[in-house]
DNA sequence: CAGGATCCAGTATGATACTG
DNA sequence: CAGTATCATACTGGATCCTG
């Protein structure tokens, strides 16, 4: 128990530091909503409620795991609701809450920015790669 | 070589499918700008150019690697510029391009949404966790 | 239909040490 | 000061099988 002094101190500082970061919930929330699947899911629900299977088809490329996981997270954050209808094959609908709807414009704006500026970005990339080579 | 029919067909479909997704650059761009460090860096540069070390202090918690990596990506995408000033200790300034500035309002909006609605989200989380327990 | 559980590969990220 | 290079790893995300 003597081979650690500076290293341990640094680790302790890091822990305290991480704790501080964890104490800043806004940054964590920012990280959570800065997620590909989140933006795609929220915009997918913009047109109204959708079933699980509809979403998986709309998003196209999302795995069961990511779809379920992201939906659970959004439900927990109060951004979407999950409604189960008992039937022969179970039916589950997801819909935006008012809180989720309030985030929608921003998500739409990001998506729109990406679609609008993709060409400019690609031009910049080509120029950058040219200069580098 | 007869133990695969449905499995192989599914794999082939998936490959074709993934190729299609890769061909959609807007989704890739959306994923790239939906990054924690990107939003933090762009908003950090909102007030004007900053040096590398200033940024690392402003962002607080970012590692050298992530900082450099994210800056390089943003530079390649044409969102920020990198200006090297030859001096005794080298000086490097980063600044937003017009393209980067055009993304700034959206990034600011996300950050603001997170800060505004963090409490509502936390309430929702507590309610969700209560119900689950 | 709508998941839950599990296994596994790839990537993202951090810590550390070294350099012009 | 402003990185680069390397190593180690934690976490993401996909594939697969199983269930109410």
B81-104: per-residue pLDDT in tens?
999 999 888 999 999 999 999 999
Backbone angles phi, psi at B115, to 5 degrees: -70, -35
Q: Which nucleotides of D are covered by protein (CB under 7 A)?
A: 1-6, 13-17, 20
Which residues in chain B are closer than 8 Å to A60, comparing Cβ atoms? Answer: 17, 21
Mean pLDDT of B14-37: 71
Q: Which two tokens stand for residue B108?
A: 């600011």
Q: Under CATH, which number does the domain A35-132 receive?
A: 1.10.10.10
Residue from A13, A19, A34, A120 to probe the interface with B (highest B Cβ count within 10 Å): A34
- On average, the pLDDT of chain B sits at 84
Q: Which residues contact B83 (CB under 8 A, 6 or more apart)?
A: B49, B92, B93, B94, B95
Distance, Å, B41 CA → D18 C1': 45
Nucleotide showing the shortest C1' distance to residue B35 CA: C12
- Position B133 scores a pLDDT of 63
Residue A118, SS3?
helix
Share of chain B above pLDDT 70, in %: 82
Dump the DSSP string for B63-84: -HHHHHHHHHHHHHTTSEEEEE
- Position B115 scores a pLDDT of 85
Nearest to A72 by CA among A39, A38, A101, A108: A38
- Position A122 scores a pLDDT of 92
- Position A133 scores a pLDDT of 66
- Position A131 scores a pLDDT of 85
Distance, Å, B88 CA → D11 C1': 41
pLDDT tens column, B64-74: 999 999 999 99
Residue A91, SS3?
strand
Distance, Å, B54 CA → D13 C1': 34
A68 beta carbon to strand C: under 7 Å: yes
pLDDT tens column, A75-87: 999 999 999 999 8
Please report which confidence band the pLDDT of residue A128 belongs to, taking 50, 70 and 90 as the band edges: very high
Q: Which two tokens stand for residue A79?
A: 């951004």
Domain boundary assignment for chain A: 1-25, 35-132
For residue A92, give the H/E element and its range: strand A91-96
Query: Can you give the pTM of this predicted structure?
Result: 0.84
Q: How many interchain CB pairs under 8 A, A with B?
A: 120
């Amino acid at each position: 128990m003597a081979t650690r002094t500076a290293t341990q101190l640094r680790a302790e500082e890091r822990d305290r530091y991480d704790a501080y970061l964890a104490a800043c919930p806004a940054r964590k929330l920012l990280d959570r909503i800065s997620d590909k699947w989140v933006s795609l899911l929220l915009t997918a629900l913009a047109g109204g409620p959708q079933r699980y299977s509809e979403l998986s088809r709309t998003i196209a490329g999302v795995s069961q795991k990511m779809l379920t996981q992201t939906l659970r997270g959004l439900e927990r954050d109060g951004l979407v609701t999950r409604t189960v209808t008992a039937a022969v094959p179970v039916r589950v609908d997801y819909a935006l809450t008012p809180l989720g709807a309030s985030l929608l414009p921003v998500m739409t704006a990001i998506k729109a920015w990406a679609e609008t500026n993709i060409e400019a970005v690609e031009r910049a990339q080509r120029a950058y790669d040219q200069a580098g080579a």
